[in-house]
Amino acid sequence: MVLKYLTVLLVCQLLGEVISRAAGLPVPGPVIGMALLFVGLMLRGGVPDGLRTTAGGLLDHLGLLFVPAGVGVMLHLPRLADEYPAIVTALIGSTLLAIVVTGVIIKLMSRSGQDGTTP
Amino acid sequence: MSERVADIWVYLAASPLTALTLTLVAYQLGTWLFRASGGMALLNPVLLAILALASLLWATGTAYETFFAGAQFVHFLLGPATVALAVPLYRQFHQVRRSAAALMAALLCGSLTAAGTAVGIGWLLGASRETLLSLAPKSATTPIAMGVAEQLGGLPSLTAVLVILTGIVGAVMGPAVLRLVRVRDQRAAGFAIGLASHGIGTARAFQMGEVAGAFSGLAMGLNGLATAVLVPLLFGLMRGLLF
C-alpha cells in the first residue's frame, strides 16, 4: 500500500524533472511533480487512504529532511561571521514585512467583499 | 586492543550508517527538548539537530562531505516530500475558492515582498552577491528554496539555513506583528504566517487554531509555487539594477 504511493510520488517527481529540463522551465522538478499530483487528485476527486498515510508520514517529519543540508552551515561560518548584520536585518525585516503585507491585503479585500458581492 | 578500537573508529568515521544514525538521533533529541520546553520556538528541533551535528563534525574533524555521504539518504526524501505537499493543498482547496481573489492578490504581493525586501535590505547593508541570491527564496519551504537558489547561482546549503532562520522569525514574531496591524481574522493571519515562514510558521499557526493552521499550510504550498516562478523572474529584473 505505502510502497505503491511512494512509487506514485517518485513517478510524479521524475516526470516533473523531465518536464522541467525538457521545457527549460525555471521551476524545480519536485514542484512540477506537486502540481502534477494536485491535478491528478482533482481528476480523481479524492485522496486515497494509502496516499494520505504516505504523504502524512513524509510531511510529519518534514523538519528532519532539512537537517543534512542545514549542517552545511559549517561550510558557511566565515560568510555568516562577515555578513551577519546584513543577513539578520534582511531576514527579520523581510519576513515581518511579508507577513504584514499579506495579512493586511486579505483583511482589506475580505471586508470589501462582505456585502454579498463575490470578488 | 587499541588497534581494534582504531579499526572500529576508522570504520565508523567513514560509514554512511554512522551519519544517518546520528542525524536521526540528533533530530529526535531536538524534538524531545522542544516538547520538554513546552514548544519554545527558539528550541526548534531542526535548529538544535543542525547545531549538535555541526559541532560534532567540527569536534571530530570530520569533513561535511563525509557526513553528507550518509545523510544524503534523508536529504533525498525532500523531493518526494515536496510532491506530497499536493495532498494537504488538495484537501484545503475547497476553503480557498470563496476568498480566492483576496488570497491570490495577497500571495502575489506577499511573495514579491518576501523576496524583494530580503534582497533589497541585504544589498543596502552590503551583503555579497552569493548571499543575496541565497536570500531571495528564503520564505519558501526548504526543498523549493534550495532548488531556486541553486538555479540562481546561490548556495543551496546556505539557503537551507536561511530558510530555517526565516521560519523561526515568523513563528516567534509573526503573531505579535499581526496584532499590531489589527489583523485578527484567523484565515488572514494563518495565510500570512504560512506564506512568509513556511512549515515552521505553519506549526505555530496550528497553535492559534485549526483555521489558521489550514490556511497557513495552504499559503506554504502556494508560496512554494509562487517563489519557484516569481523569484527567477524578479531576479532577472533586479540583476540589471543590482549587479
Neighbouring CB atoms inside 10 A of A21's CB total: 10
Q: How far apart are CA A94 and CA B110, in angstroms?
A: 10
**B216 within 8 A of B226, measured Cβ to Cβ:** no
Which residues of chain B does A28 touch, with a Cβ-Cβ cutoff of 8 Å?
A: 82, 143-144, 147-148, 151, 228
B67-103: b (≥16 Cβ within 10 Å) or e: bbebbeebbebbbbbbbbbbbbbbbbeeebeebeebb
| Phi and psi based region of residue A63 (left: phi greater than 0; alpha: psi -120 to 50; beta: remaining) | alpha
What total number of domains does chain B contain? 2
Specify whether A56 is located in the same domain as A84.
Answer: no
Structural domain for A96, as ranges: 76-119
Q: Average pLDDT, whole number, for chain A?
A: 87
Q: Are residues B66 and B174 in the same domain?
A: no
Residue pair B158/B150 in contact by the 8 Å Cβ criterion? no
For residues B155 and B238, membership in a common domain is answered with: yes
C-alpha grid cell, residue A75: 561550510
Cell numbers given for B200: 515552521
Q: What is the pLDDT of residue A17?
A: 93
B 89-108 near A (Cβ less than 8 A): 89-91, 98-103, 105-107
pLDDT along chain B (243 residues), means of 10: 80 87 95 88 82 94 92 91 85 78 95 95 94 93 86 88 88 91 93 92 80 85 89 77 58
Of A96-100, A111-115, B9-13, B98-102, the least confident: A111-115
ipTM: 0.84
Are B92 and B186 in a shared domain? yes
Q: Specify whether B54 is located in the same domain as B173.
A: no
Chain A hits for B224, Cβ within 8 Å: 31, 34
A110 and B185: CB-CB below 8 Å? yes
The C-alpha atoms of residue B205 and residue B189 are separated, in whole angstroms, by: 8
* Whether A69 contacts B49, CB under 8 Å: no
Please count the CA atoms within 13 angstroms of the CA of B59 that sit on its side-chain side.
Answer: 6
Whether A17 and A65 share a structural domain = yes
Beta carbons of B119 and B136 less than 8 angstroms apart:
yes
> Are B124 and B37 within one domain?
no
Range of the domain at B223: 83-242
Look at the pTM and tell me if it is higher than 0.90.
Answer: no
Residue A48 CB coordination number (10 Å)? 15
